[in-house]
A and B are shown apart, each in its own frame.
Chain A
């Protein structure tokens, strides 16, 4: 047992801390594979990020960039180049030693033509990777890009080992504190503590990520004691059952998911700003949050996470006001409203919110026809073919306001002022300036009422009382278990 465990034990008093245990973590979605550098599934990062795989830097619970495999770094060449100073004595789970060559391999692989990395854009600006010595590496970009550091902290940019990279999808090998044991498909992924981990020792002996799709089964599995922690409990409607039970702790935090009423700005009537503003006035966020999310969500007025330091509250920009909404519709030439379709993907938040939105818009004469779809259908019709009027979806990627700079994205928002703001953000090396620009960007899309901004999706953590160190928020998708331990009599 390493020093840090001892300190914690002494600090908390010996009898109160449980023996190292294997934690059973419940997740709703099973990952399709275990390679975070492949597809876009958040369910992959839910299991592997920070546990099996590590990147040069690590994003923590608060969304801050922390040193990881790179203990420190320097910005040189006017912000165009990063020099990373790598940790010594790091072993991959297959026993291979980690060096700068692994960094070069990982990034070259993600950037290559055959790469199926969903966030290939992170690596595109890399013009040169120069190994200075086995523990120092310089990465040069096409221009200064301050968001590069955050991006390489994402699961898509973890460091992989050349010998094992091709098999990571079913037998992941990383440098993290937990090692992959087995995957019983459809049931669970088992991890065990990696005894040769280079960093501070973790407290848990291992972790089983169990996949429970059905919300009611999630409830019974928690209550039966099969699951110790459900970091993102799928049924906000019965959270109160745990809140009232002293054996459990409920922590409602935030995800990076901005839930929006996606609006097709390309086609009439939504190409008309007056119509979009009318919709913004017709939306009653508090009714949505109470009705669909049982009060467990935070209203937003733009496409930005409320717990980010650069967030500005724009929820008052278009207050809920039916008269104002009707007036704007009249001005826009729709005195009697119009008919639209609302295409909803499967998540329960979308379906519930959709029904309320339909009734809210109905109050100002907009007749909404709800069409429920599966994900694959939704992606095909809404996201790719842009064949939709309105939709509801949560954009769970962290810091993704830049999607509004892409006129081909499914919103169809094509605004040169906004594109300029994003271009400036991407090349700004000055933190204060970039903070100002992010605020400007939020304001711009809110003013243009590009989409209806509804609420930030909550993260509903439920775990046994006495379990400490679980993430309260999801600034990125991860259930990093390095700080998790159990206090108390049970286990």
Chain B
């Protein structure tokens, strides 16, 4: 187990290091100067030069790369060009929206998808199965932003039960914030739940044909008991894989939903920073996202081992 951990950690560090290089090069080749952007259509060149010095943009790319990576190693992500506050503070503020939203959406999607997938599998071919999978098909097909707009038009502008947009901030109270995140979380959860329930179903169906299920049935368990006691853990492996991918995707991939609901999340911060050429923020967030993806994959690997003892041997 410990050599398994060590290997994973070393590969995590190498991945991050390679990622910083790629991110830096990509951002260097993107046209557009952050200073020119900030000065607008009529800014004076003198002021632009002063700003360039202030932002540390007057040195060569090598020096900037080394500064950046060395800063991150020391926990200093630099100062945002446009907002003029530490990047880490910006990321922290935004993560306080994006992470709870992601967790909320994943909670909703698993709470719907796993029971739905299992029920469909155990009653394969029945009316319940057909209708669940029909709804799932629809859920995959419906664009989530369109669904989000429908939710807003119904719950916010017609019923006036929810705010149409914005996030009050956690100091306004937990329930108020939870309420503000509810419609976005539902919109994000719907397509994810649809995908997840289909995976759950097919994976459950697969294990139902295994020998050990037949043995369990032979011992006298009924179909559902056999599935829940012996089949579920085995069927969870592909579901966990999808969940891990969905978590990383939702973390920054919620950008469209964040725009529809004007939520100050990570996705919108990345987008805004790209538009404003706040390159230091872009670099840092992308690095953090790479880190979180690698880290989540790592957690998922550990979970595999937890559900399947055969994987604990380190092979």
Contacts and interface: CB of A to CB of B under 8 A. Distances in A.
A pairs with B: yes
Interface string A95-136: 000000000000000000111111111000000000000000
A376 B38 contact: no
A396 B156 CA distance: 35
Nearest to B46: A120
Contacts of A374: 32, 275
Given A40-B42, A213-B262, A224-B160, A384 B36 contact: yes
B163 A226 contact: yes
A345 B180 CA distance: 33
B201 interface: no
Interface string A333-355: 00000000000001000000000
A16 interface: no
B41 A223 contact: no
B262 A221 contact: yes
B32 A397 contact: no
Interface in B69-93: 82-85, 90, 93
Interface in A358-385: 374-377, 379-381, 383-384
Nearest to B81: A32
B153 interface: yes
B111 interface: no
B12 interface: no
A389 B165 CA distance: 41
| Prevailing SS type, chain A contact patch | loop
A355 to B, nearest CB: 22
B44 A186 contact: no
Contacts of A207: none
A384 B97 CA distance: 38
Interface stretch (B18-26, B47-55, B231-239, B307-315): B47-55
A79 interface: no
Given A33-B82, A221-B166, A379-B32, A214 B260 contact: yes
Interface in A1-53: 30, 32-33, 39-41
Contacts of B263: 186-187
Contacts of B162: 224
Given A121-B44, A380-B33, A116 B50 contact: yes
B60 to A, nearest CB: 19
A223 B157 contact: yes
Given A185-B93, A186-B93, A186-B264, A118 B39 contact: yes
Among A116, A375, A395, chain B packs the most CB atoms within 10 A around the CB of A116
Contacts of B185: none
Contacts of B265: 186
A118 B44 contact: yes
Contacts of B268: 186, 213
Q: Which 8 A/B pairs are nearest by Cβ-Cβ distance?
A: A186-B264, A376-B32, A40-B40, A32-B82, A224-B164, A224-B156, A220-B164, A223-B157
Interface of A: 30, 32-33, 39-41, 113-121, 169-170, 184-188, 210-214, 216-217, 220-221, 223-226, 346, 374-377, 379-381, 383-384, 393, 395-397, 400, 403
20 contacts: A39-B39, A39-B40, A40-B39, A41-B38, A41-B40, A120-B47, A170-B84, A211-B262, A217-B261, A220-B156, A220-B165, A221-B262, A223-B156, A224-B157, A375-B32, A376-B32, A376-B33, A376-B34, A376-B37, A380-B32
Given A186-B93, A226-B163, A375-B32, 15 more contacts: A40-B41, A113-B50, A114-B54, A116-B54, A186-B264, A188-B166, A217-B260, A220-B164, A226-B165, A374-B275, A375-B37, A375-B276, A376-B36, A380-B36, A397-B42
Interface of B: 31-34, 36-44, 46-47, 50-51, 53-54, 82-85, 90, 93-94, 97, 149, 152-153, 156-157, 160, 162-167, 169, 259-265, 268-269, 272, 275-277
